[in-house]
Structure 1
């Protein structure tokens, strides 16, 4: 029993040693033809760069857009005039004729919904100008919001506070401003407690938001945003039909998966408020942020597929290049293969020697391609943060290995099957 165990151990060590020798031989062969090696791996480099570059760009775009859409919140439903997607054969003018959501409907929903944890109404106006003495800040975003808005959306305060219930219900002239607006009007950092002028109305700043940085597609850039009580907003702009269209955001409970109970309750209350008969279609939209996220996922899935196909053909060309070089290498070393087999080299030793050579070529090309993609991540792109993920790195290495294996298996098999006598004669 001990003799068999020792024999197995010896055989295993001998096999591992021969595999290591095959690896060293393939490495020496690549070093001896350095220029040819570099030219051979360029095809795989271009292929991996194309595939992983597209995947990295698509992933970064997708993450950037989703980050920008975080403003819509999660686990929410919105009651609005327009749906997020106009689908089917429903005439668009029927949406146009719908009434806007109103403050009265918001208050009724707030009082009658049992499945809501918080509810808020908001209205948005772009291109607003704020003034502080002789200074002004243009192109800002003004949001009129109700008291519970900070429970619906995450507002990270740098200093100061949010509205109180009394301030929100009374429509007081108070405001919470974004970081960029604060820096433009108050470079010394003394914003809280100061006054700004908005469309002729003086507002007291009670809070400043923490900077969130630039987004790729900003639905609302919080750094340029200013929040005021909804009732104060209605003093500045007309809200309703032919004016600013408000939106009612409702957050549900974790015990209501998919918010199905909340949606059913909202639909029932809204239909009753609008006086709709059982056969009438809804004249309001119940929107979900995940609908936008789902549409984005579908779009980028198609882009990833298209980019993957293009990259696949690129790397396929690189694989053919490696296979061609391996056939040439087998032809050049036919005499050496014959000598090695005459001296007792096993078939797997010859096989692994050429397989390792092909895989090293492919992996080196793939590694160079990944380095180039990683270099792209340092190129500054406005609003887009490029990042090479670990998953994409693994995809690049696995694809490189497979291409090397497929490109080298036939030449390696031909070399392993050579007759030593005929090989030496050549």
Structure 2
């Protein structure tokens, strides 16, 4: 109870001191406010960017490996002349992996073409057409809002059916339920069996907007857009307990080398691409941005901390007589120390709260497809940094006040 009373008295003293010198208080807050704003704003924008980009990559899938001709490059030397000679993966290789892989939970095949016009009478829309096998929904994020996904017979028998993104029905069949309706794709009639949930615009659209994506069976896609040798992108999903997907990667490598007749001493002529590599590259970039935010914010906070420390020294000087009276009436050293320390922390905390409020207001500014979201973690970080700056700035003035001789302090003018 006594401790709570001391906290309340310290709060009252701090509040009165801040109110009595309002101009000085506001000027002292500016450094901390700018510093906390810089740090929290950078953290918030970086988190929002990272979330937006990773959401944009959700269609790639989680714990998957892409068997492709070209490797994904994230720095270092890119030997395109070497990869240029490699053969494209084929549908027969997909079937071979599908029949023989034991370390995979799903194996799918896909290929795509962009800028394909879909028509219904006078209505049309340019979309990305993607040919997929039945297992594709086990690998990619496909949420059906209306209708259904493909049936196994539809994909194996090359039926002219489609699962479309949310923008396609709105363009081809405005104001109507598109499920069961026919449209034309490359001169052929296709029936919409499913409509995907609207995903909206992403900061980065890999392969185009998901809402303008038209999925059709791979066999149907092959008849329309592939001639001669059937190339394919093979996608393999590992089991959740396969750490780093090492087991499935080793099995894919062995099977592909066997299928292509590669000798033990020769290099592989195919690429195994993991989305985790892209995620790591993105995380590395954001780590640099985060460090830059800390550096920029630290300079502002340093200036603000010196400002608070200076104000606290002035405050101790102005209240020296009051300190002597308090100590002569029995106030303990820790009580005086806590009183001034509380004032410094409160001053810094108010500055931090103003900085956080400015970041919150920033989240209401429209930034296209980038949605700024303040997380509780960033708010707590801003408040914690403010408290630490308050303690570091106020500890020395508070200790000087606590160690004053009451007799000398009372005589001070």
| TM-score, with length taken from structure 1 | 0.91
Give CA-to-partner distance per residue, 1:176-229, whole Å, 9 cap, x none.
111111111111223122221222222222221121222221224321100111
- Bigger drift between 199-208 and 350-359 goes to 199-208
Unaligned runs of 5+ in 2: none
User: Which residue is 2:206 aligned to?
Assistant: 219
User: Which residue is 1:283 aligned to?
Assistant: 269
Is this contact kept in 2: 1:117–1:253, CA < 8 A? Answer: yes
Q: CA deviation at 1:240?
A: 8.4
User: Which residue is 2:331 aligned to?
Assistant: 345
Find the partner of 1:421 among 401, 407, 411.
Answer: 407
Find the partner of 1:131 among 97, 110, 119.
Answer: 119
2:43 paired with 1:52: no
User: Which residue is 1:6 aligned to?
Assistant: none
User: Which residue is 1:187 aligned to?
Assistant: 174
Is this contact kept in 1: 2:200–2:211, CA < 8 A? Answer: yes
2:163 paired with 1:176: yes
Find the partner of 1:363 among 349, 355, 373.
Answer: 349
2:383 paired with 1:383: no
Is this contact kept in 2: 1:23–1:352, CA < 8 A? Answer: no
Q: CA deviation at 1:19?
A: 4.4
Is this contact kept in 2: 1:101–1:240, CA < 8 A? Answer: no
Secondary structure, aligned partner of 2:118: strand
Is this contact kept in 1: 2:58–2:141, CA < 8 A? Answer: no
Structure 1: distance between partners of 2:147 and 2:330: 83
Alignment of 1:70-149 (within 5 A): 70-85=58-73, 89=77, 91-138=79-126, 140-149=127-136
Find the partner of 2:224 among 232, 236, 247.
Answer: 236
Is this contact kept in 1: 2:29–2:351, CA < 8 A? Answer: yes
2:281 paired with 1:295: yes
User: Which residue is 2:13 aligned to?
Assistant: 25
Structure 2: distance between partners of 1:30 and 1:380: 36
User: Which residue is 1:250 aligned to?
Assistant: 236
Unaligned runs of 5+ in 1: 1-12
Q: CA deviation at 1:418?
A: 2.3
Secondary structure, aligned partner of 1:82: coil
Structure 1: distance between partners of 2:23 and 2:54: 45
Give CA-to-partner distance per residue, 1:256-294, whole Å, 9 cap, x none.
443322222211111122221111111101111212112
2:206 paired with 1:201: no
Structure 2: distance between partners of 1:62 and 1:86: 17
Find the partner of 1:397 among 364, 383, 397.
Answer: 383
Q: CA deviation at 1:91?
A: 2.5
Is this contact kept in 2: 1:100–1:240, CA < 8 A? Answer: no
Is this contact kept in 1: 2:74–2:281, CA < 8 A? Answer: no
Alignment of 1:302-317 (within 5 A): 302-317=288-303
2:396 paired with 1:410: yes
- Bigger drift between 40-49 and 247-256 goes to 247-256
Q: CA deviation at 1:86?
A: 5.7
- Bigger drift between 122-131 and 401-410 goes to 122-131
Is this contact kept in 2: 1:240–1:246, CA < 8 A? Answer: no
Q: CA deviation at 1:317?
A: 1.0
Structure 2: distance between partners of 1:21 and 1:114: 71
Query: Aligned pairs, how many?
Result: 411
Structure 2: distance between partners of 1:119 and 1:217: 26
Is this contact kept in 2: 1:354–1:408, CA < 8 A? Answer: yes
Secondary structure, aligned partner of 2:150: coil
- Bigger drift between 390-399 and 411-420 goes to 411-420
Q: 1:87 to 1:395 in 2, by over 3 A?
A: closer
Structure 2: distance between partners of 1:331 and 1:203: 84
Structure 1: distance between partners of 2:227 and 2:243: 33
Structure 2: distance between partners of 1:148 and 1:319: 59
Secondary structure, aligned partner of 1:148: helix
Is this contact kept in 1: 2:124–2:172, CA < 8 A? Answer: yes
Structure 2: distance between partners of 1:158 and 1:27: 56
2:57 paired with 1:69: yes
Q: CA deviation at 1:389?
A: 1.0
